[in-house]
């Protein structure tokens, strides 16, 4: 009887996850010439060779797009961690009433549509926007930040920061306070308690936060489109262009497959790091 409740989920996953992945893989491994479909790796070669054969590997067009996307995602994840961990720590240290109010204020902007939140940064960062108005009032030179890496980075950090804070906050609130008290009773300094107890115990939240920020950051295309301009390219923009503008579903599927592989690799690395940490904790005990 219990198995009957599983079937709807299996059906849902099969239709909306497994089937699309199989379809994308099919397009990535095939090409159509004169109506004839044949299996080939030419689409993958096109991605890694670029449009100008003979160029150094990291100078090739699509490889540059991939490395730039990864770099932007890594920087975004690092900034979100550096901002998010202290914020999550502060939230976890507050009393219930104050903590609930602060969390409400923190997640309230997330109720607004993602596109609207990103559009708002256009008016804030434009030449006559809020940032430059404040700089002018202070007698400082105005800055042209819109349609640059900095604008895209700012938009990504703003949109993805909650996905870093909330998992870490959850790990910190579930931490047994008796462990912290025991460390303090044994003479550990506040810095030692934080580095040797709090950080290791909150590692599952950190791993979840990194995963939840890095994944959408490396695949995003709305934020680069709006804050970077249409000429700004990341992997998500490349997929969008190939499917919607160029109509090359085969090459677009290749980029999607490579993006999925990159995500699986990052998840495997983070999972391995979490597993190693748990083994070290077990050995220490």
**Average pLDDT score over residue span 240-268:** 90
pLDDT at residue 278, rounded to an integer: 67
Residue 53: pLDDT band by 50, 70, 90 thresholds?
low
Residue 166: pLDDT band by 50, 70, 90 thresholds?
very high
Question: If DSSP codes are grouped into helix, strand and coil, which group holds residue 31?
Answer: strand
**Average pLDDT score over residue span 35-40:** 86
- Say if CB 218 and CB 235 are below 8 A apart: yes
Alpha-carbon distance 195 to 190, whole Å?
Answer: 9
Residue 280: pLDDT band by 50, 70, 90 thresholds?
low
Mean pLDDT for all residues in the chain: 87
- For the beta carbon of residue 140, count every other beta carbon within 10 angstroms: 10
Alpha-carbon distance 216 to 193, whole Å?
Answer: 33
- Say if CB 9 and CB 18 are below 8 A apart: no
Q: Please state the domain count of the chain.
A: 1
Is residue 281 assigned to a domain? no
Is residue 39 assigned to a domain? no
Q: What is the share, in percent, of the chain residues with pLDDT greater than 70?
A: 94
Q: Please return the burial class of 189, using the count of CB atoms within 10 Å of its CB with bins 0-12, 13-18 and 19+.
A: exposed
List 38's β-bridge partners, or say none: 31
**Average pLDDT score over residue span 41-52:** 85
**Average pLDDT score over residue span 177-200:** 84
Written as one string, the DSSP assignment of 190-202 is HHHHIIIIIHHHT
Residue 209: pLDDT band by 50, 70, 90 thresholds?
very high
Is residue 129 assigned to a domain? yes
Is residue 96 assigned to a domain? yes
Verdict on whether the full-model pTM lies above 0.85: yes
**Average pLDDT score over residue span 224-248:** 87
| Strand 36-39 relative to strand 30-33, pairing | antiparallel
pLDDT at residue 231, rounded to an integer: 67
Looking up tokens 């004169």 gives 34
Highest mean pLDDT pick, 98-112, 128-142, 153-167: 153-167
**Average pLDDT score over residue span 246-270:** 90
pLDDT at position 97 over 60: yes
Alpha-carbon distance 101 to 84, whole Å?
Answer: 17
Is residue 29 assigned to a domain? no
Alpha-carbon distance 119 to 233, whole Å?
Answer: 18
**Average pLDDT score over residue span 262-279:** 79
- Say if CB 32 and CB 251 are below 8 A apart: no
pLDDT at residue 37, rounded to an integer: 85
Is residue 284 assigned to a domain? no
The domain spanning residue 137 has which CATH number? Answer: 1.10.3720.10
pLDDT at position 114 over 80: yes
**Average pLDDT score over residue span 184-199:** 84
**Average pLDDT score over residue span 169-186:** 85
Alpha-carbon distance 46 to 253, whole Å?
Answer: 12
Written as one string, the DSSP assignment of 77-120 is HHHHHHHHHHHHHHHHHS-HHHHHHHHHHHHGGGGS-HHHHHHH
Structure tokens that stand for 73 in this block: 């995602």
Is residue 147 assigned to a domain? yes
More confident residue, 50 or 251: 251
Is residue 280 assigned to a domain? no
Question: If DSSP codes are grouped into helix, strand and coil, which group holds residue 223?
Answer: helix
pLDDT at position 258 over 90: yes
Residue 9: pLDDT band by 50, 70, 90 thresholds?
confident
User: Which residues constitute the domain of residue 250?
Assistant: 70-275
Structure tokens that stand for 145 in this block: 């930040």
DSSP state of 95: -
pLDDT at residue 56, rounded to an integer: 81
């Amino acid at each position: 009887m219990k198995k009957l409740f599983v079937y709807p989920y299996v059906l849902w996953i099969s239709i909306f996850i497994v089937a699309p992945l199989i379809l994308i893989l099919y397009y990535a491994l095939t090409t159509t010439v004169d109506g004839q479909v044949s299996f080939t790796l030419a689409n993958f070669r096109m991605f890694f060779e670029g449009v100008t054969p003979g160029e150094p590997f990291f100078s090739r067009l699509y490889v540059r797009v991939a490395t730039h996307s990864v770099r932007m995602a890594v920087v975004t994840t690092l900034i979100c961690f550096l901002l998010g961990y202290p914020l999550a720590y502060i939230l976890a240290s507050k009393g219930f009433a104050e903590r609930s109010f602060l969390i409400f204020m923190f997640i309230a902007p997330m109720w607004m549509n993602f596109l609207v939140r990103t559009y708002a940064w256009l008016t804030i960062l434009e030449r006559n926007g809020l940032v430059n108005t404040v700089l002018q009032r202070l007698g400082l030179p105005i800055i042209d930040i819109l349609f640059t890496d900095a604008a895209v980075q700012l938009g990504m950090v703003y949109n993805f920061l909650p996905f870093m804070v909330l998992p870490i906050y959850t790990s910190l609130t579930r931490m047994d306070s008796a462990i912290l008290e025991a460390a303090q009773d044994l003479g550990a300094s506040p810095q030692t308690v934080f580095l040797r107890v709090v950080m290791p115990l909150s590692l599952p939240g950190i791993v979840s936060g990194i995963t939840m920020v890095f994944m959408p950051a490396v695949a995003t295309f709305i934020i680069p489109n709006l804050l970077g301009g249409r000429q700004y390219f990341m992997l998500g923009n490349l997929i969008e262009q190939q499917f919607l503008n160029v109509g090359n579903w085969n090459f677009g599927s290749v980029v999607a497959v490579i993006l999925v592989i990159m995500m699986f690799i990052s998840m495997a690395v983070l999972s391995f790091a979490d597993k190693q940490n748990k083994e070290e904790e077990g050995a220490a005990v």
